[in-house]
Amino acid sequence: MLEGFYPKEYRNSTYEINFEDFYEKGFRGIIFDIDNTLVPHGMPADERAIALMKRLKKIGYRVTMLSNNKEPRVKMFCDAVDAPYIFKAGKPNPQNYRKAFVEMGTNEKNTLFVGDQIFTDVWGANKAGLHSILVRPIHPKEEIQIVLKRYLERIVLYFYQRAQRRKSSD
């Protein structure tokens, strides 16, 4: 019942993902959430985010930001990292995930999605058929509606991690 919310992978940070490995496996596009995935909520792009985007482009990836936020916030970040974006994306609706990979010239089989929220980011990526990677939020300071969702996410993560343990013991 909860499997639709399970990420394909769960990592501590976006910055620990071995994107070179994924490229070797045939992935060519990455769709990122911004807030609490690449930088703390509402913050501008920092040197770490800028360096990551440069590294990904050098590897050969196409990258797009997908955010439910308004354009001024998303544009500020994306201008700094030189990346295309879709704002007010309506996540978890899969429509703009698909629009992002079509615009990158990739498809659901060779595109990764990286985000910090289960009920918007991961669920939408899964509905779009993408390889979803959930990362821990960068910073605990969040808007109240997100804080409330985090309590429900803990339940999903409990069952996800239990399923992962079962899978690895088989």
Global pTM?
0.91
Cβ neighbours of 51 (radius 10 Å) = 12
pLDDT by 10s per residue, the chain, length 170: 789 999 999 999 999 999 999 999 999 999 999 999 999 989 999 999 999 999 999 999 999 999 999 999 999 999 999 999 999 999 999 999 999 999 999 999 999 999 999 999 999 999 999 999 999 999 766 666 666 777 788 888 888 989 888 888 77
Contact 136, 12 (CB under 8 A): yes
pLDDT 10s digits, 60-95:
999 999 999 999 999 999 999 999 999 999 999 999
Paired with 113 in beta bridges are 31, 132
